[in-house]
Chains A and B, each alone.
Chain A
Amino acid sequence: MAHPAPSTFTGAADVIAVLVLLTEFAMLRAPLLRSQVRLYAFQSLVITVLAIVVAATRHIDELYVLAALSFVLKVVIVPKIVLRLLSNSEVALAGSSAYGVATMTLIAIAVSIFGFFSIGALHLQSTALPSTALAISVAVVLVAFVLIILRSDVVSQAIGFFSLENGVSVASLVVASGLPLIVDVAFLFDLLVAVVVFGVLMRVHQGRSKTLSTDSLDRLKG
């Protein structure tokens, strides 16, 4: 059976989703914390473009508001705050992980292939909605988890969560653009609160241990 040629929208959505996934991989191998944050800002910019594409092709005007909000918050404010917090600290390098960069990348590739094909196994054939982009966004979410689990510093954890939010945004934009706008806005607020708690954590913990490693977050156990 021949597949129908993808529409312009599907093509654009797929390309953007692939870009988001590649940025996610770049974050995984970025040795400097600052470059991780910059990559996140770039990834968010790509998502903003996706929001504008969806808004224009589907004629959903609310999405322009979302694009504006996500540009202001995710491309400008959040990276700026995190960079400011980082410049106050003396730590520049990401925490050493249990595995080398090559191993981490291989794990991430395996995980993203799993995510991609598990969505493929659902056998979704839809002319209206790009299911490839959905599969890629699931891969982004899984690689974000790899980043959070394997890197042992709080900045990577934070950036991992922020980029997971980006992955979910891709899914939401491509297959559920009719979802009420308030859903995406609420998630943006979560980012802000995560940044606030992150700032408090940096302030309280750094004064004591001069490190951003998660190894110092071991007071509470059992």
Chain B
Amino acid sequence: MNAVLIAIVVIPLVSTIVTWWTPLQASRVVTVASGIAVFVLSLTLVPSATSHTFLAAGPALRADALSVVFLVPTTFLYATTAIFSVGYLHPPSGDAGKRYTRHFYAGLNAFCWAMAVAPIVNGLALLWVAIEVTTVVSALLVAIDDTDGATEAAWKYVLLASLGLGIALLATIVMYYAGTRVFGSSYDLSYPQLLAEAHRFPKDVVRLADILAVVGFGTKMGLVPVHTWLPDAHSEAPTPISALLSGALLATSFYAILRFFQVSMRCLGPTYPRNVLLAFGLASLVLAALYLLSQRDLKRLLAYSSIEHMGILAIGMSFSAPIAIVGVLLHVIAHGTAKGTAFFGAGSVVRKFKTKDLLRIRGGVALLPWSGPILVLAVLGLSAMPPFGIFRSEFLIVSGGLSDPHDAVAAILVVLVTLAFFGLSWFTTETMLTPAPAMLTARLGRGETSRFIVVAMVLGLVALTVIGVHVPGQLSDLLHHAASELEVTR
């Protein structure tokens, strides 16, 4: 019985209930405390997940190295987003404002709860339920601003994500069907059971389940061509929610795909599951790289960068070299921290300039002495510049790809990532570094909108730099351990 796992499930749930009932001041404290506590708890799982094959609490909770790899960035974003939100939300005015902040904080905690639970549940059925809950909560959070844009985005999101989850449920059902050959008509889809017997499943059925899972969960992960909700939802949601959607939710959906990948690898061998991911990954990377060159909206720019990075993850999984898989898992962590930090910066800029239009934002670095430069650094980090984490992870993925027999894919990857780099860094650096017209400077003044925003961004940047400069030994062990869990074919 692992008490830490239970605490990770209970703490955010309790803070969801508490924040629904308490006044704003208390909600802030509770949310920040809960975020930090859950993050620290998930860090304590890192050494034990590498020394044991898995940790468990009852039949429903189970964490192995792969689970912890996804748990750590999610809970890190929970903590930093909670801090950021304190600075980002206006102090409420009137009853409507109070209701808004109450809904916001309860929703934030519930959303993070579902995302923290998804990687530590035992089995495909419960995993699907957790991801379903993330959709339910986050759709309401996207709609919370109640504007034309927000409702349109929320409608597209709830419709497409729910359809995707319908397909994902079909994948789960088909996988269950595959298992009935071995386990009889009533069993649960727990991982140890599935992985141990997957080689006896009928191959055609598992093929169908695998591709349905990639399409279904891929809709939530933002893989092209089922990504269309993503830029809208990311740009119209309140910025703290954008950061969570992009940094944590997409990764959680990728985790679900990896669980199906794991079973498919053991049943079908490596070729089929890798090729499926390669096709979707390439499509995502091509489209995102092209869209990045023509974006004029700061938050949509970051959203397309998310599609780009999800494409990189999918392509990385198609490489056979173990080093590429380690790179993919490190990329999940690095992308989460970098994208969270970049969205926090975007939130600070939007708050200051009252627009998301890149053509109307000028002199961000001068007017925002802290969050401006950190946003530029985070965007450079997202474009895989050293010394940041994404440089290291993409380097591992590409070097794994070059040792692959099909090294052309690695070459295409490098070209497209370079294209994306131009789009992403050109517009943001131009916006942030061009001096602001004197009138704008006079009107807006120099200075940060909130200290809390700066604290959240500094934390993100420090984490991103640490994993870029030197991956701590225990984290490195964890990544290798998780990669070896993904590679076993029989």
CB of A204 within 8 A of CB of B173, answer no
A194 on interface, CB distance cutoff 8 Å: yes
Query: Of the candidates B140, B169, B186, which one forms a contact with A197 in the assembled complex, judged by CB atoms under 8 Å apart?
Result: B140
A3 on interface, CB distance cutoff 8 Å: no
Residues of B near A123 (CB, < 8 A) are 204
A187-B169, A190-B165 given as contacts; is B187 within 8 A of A178 (CB)?
yes
Residues of A near B205 (CB, < 8 A) are 122, 124
Residues of B near A175 (CB, < 8 A) are 173, 176-177, 180
CB of A128 within 8 A of CB of B152, answer no
Instruction: Tell which of A123, A148, A157, A186 has the most Cβ of chain B within 10 Å.
Output: A186
Interface flags, B137-173, vs A, CB<8A=1, else 0? 0011001001111011111101100110111011011
The docked-state distance in angstroms from the alpha carbon of A124 to that of B159 is: 32
Q: Tell me the minimal C-beta distance from B441 to chain A in angstroms.
A: 30
CB of A178 within 8 A of CB of B185, answer yes
Residues of A near B151 (CB, < 8 A) are 197, 200-201, 204-205
A161-B159, A175-B173 given as contacts; is B148 within 8 A of A219 (CB)?
yes
Q: Tell me the minimal C-beta distance from B420 to chain A in angstroms.
A: 16
A168-B170, A179-B125, A179-B173 given as contacts; is B180 within 8 A of A129 (CB)?
yes
The docked-state distance in angstroms from the alpha carbon of A124 to that of B132 is: 29
CB of A186 within 8 A of CB of B149, answer no
The docked-state distance in angstroms from the alpha carbon of A147 to that of B408 is: 41
Query: Of the candidates A129, A164, A179, A220, which one forms a contact with B152 in the assembled complex, judged by CB atoms under 8 Å apart?
Result: A220
- Interface residues in B104-147 by Cβ distance below 8 A to A read 125-126, 128-129, 132-133, 135-136, 139-140, 143, 146-147
CB of B188 within 8 A of CB of A204, answer no
The docked-state distance in angstroms from the alpha carbon of A193 to that of B126 is: 20
Nearest CB in chain B to that of A175: its residue: B177
A122-B202, A193-B140, A220-B232 given as contacts; is B300 within 8 A of A134 (CB)?
no
Instruction: Tell which of A129, A183, A208 has the most Cβ of chain B within 10 Å.
Output: A183
A198 on interface, CB distance cutoff 8 Å: yes
B295 on interface, CB distance cutoff 8 Å: yes
The docked-state distance in angstroms from the alpha carbon of A138 to that of B212 is: 12
Instruction: Tell which of A121, A122, A128, A157 has the most Cβ of chain B within 10 Å.
Output: A122
How many B residues, CB 8 Å from partner? 53
The docked-state distance in angstroms from the alpha carbon of A189 to that of B202 is: 33
Interface of B is mostly: helix
Residues of A near B202 (CB, < 8 A) are 122, 124
Interface flags, B5-27, vs A, CB<8A=1, else 0? 00000000000000000000000
B208 on interface, CB distance cutoff 8 Å: yes
Q: Tell me the minimal C-beta distance from B294 to chain A in angstroms.
A: 7
The docked-state distance in angstroms from the alpha carbon of A182 to that of B132 is: 11
B291 on interface, CB distance cutoff 8 Å: yes
B236 on interface, CB distance cutoff 8 Å: yes
Q: Closest 4 A-B residue pairs measured CB to CB? A: A178-B186, A176-B176, A220-B232, A186-B132
Interface, chain B (partner A; CB < 8 A):
125-126, 128-129, 132-133, 135-136, 139-140, 143, 146-149, 151-156, 158-159, 162-163, 165-167, 169-170, 172-173, 176-177, 180, 185-189, 202, 204-205, 208, 231-232, 235-236, 291, 294-295, 297, 300
22 A-B residue pairs with Cβ-Cβ distance under 8 Å, sorted by A, are A122-B208, A141-B166, A141-B167, A167-B166, A168-B170, A171-B173, A172-B173, A178-B176, A178-B188, A179-B125, A179-B189, A194-B159, A197-B140, A197-B143, A197-B151, A197-B155, A197-B158, A200-B143, A217-B152, A220-B152, A220-B153, A222-B231
